[in-house]
Amino acid sequence: MSAPPIRQAVRILGIDPGLRRTGWGVIDVTGNRLTFVACGSVESDEALPLAARLVTIHDGLARVLVTHRPDEAAVEQTFVNKDGAATLKLGQARGVAMLAPAMLGLPVAEYAPNQVKKTVVGAGHADKAQIGMMLGVLLPKADPRTADAADALAVAITHAHHRDARSLRVAVS
């Protein structure tokens, strides 16, 4: 009788993109066990031009990537609202959020907001309080100081739950 193989932890960076504040959360996944590593947010100065704000987001995420060295990243998809200009600016912040880990060769997955809520809470229209409560259950040591950091941890959890199915789909196609 041999011992079961030792599973290597996979480190996942979840990102909740925003122009004012981009949330980030890092978790380790070993099998189906989730472990909180760190979370926070990158804030840009609204008084700066758009290009400078995008550089701030990139540089902040680059520091997170260097500090925590994730194996994979996941980004929440853009929620389209009635204000086209605001949606376009959010899309640019999201592009930077996808670019930063991709530049380091990390695979970057995308998840719709409803999929994140459904994965973490069990309902696709959950509110911030329900997400926060479930984060306390799934990652008891997590201490998100902003809703953006909490959302980023939820994105990371979603990727942890769906990553094997995603890699299987890629292998089949």
Instruction: Point out the catalytic residue in the list 28, 72, 110, 148.
Output: 148
Give catalytic status of residue 76 as yes or no: yes
In terms of Cα–Cα distance, which of 115, 128, 145, 111 is closest to 38?
145
Backbone angles phi, psi at 27, to 5 degrees: -130, 155
Torsion of CA 60, 112, 46, 99, to 10 degrees: 40
Alpha carbon distances (Å) from 73 to 1, 33, 68, 76: 37, 18, 12, 10
Please report which residue ranges of the chain form alpha helices under DSSP H: 50-68, 84-103, 113-121, 128-138, 147-172
Instruction: Point out the catalytic residue in the list 28, 72, 76, 151.
Output: 76
Instruction: Point out the catalytic residue in the list 16, 28, 72, 151.
Output: 16
Angle between helices 128-138 and 113-121 (to 10 degrees): 50
Q: Which residues are catalytic?
A: 16, 76, 148
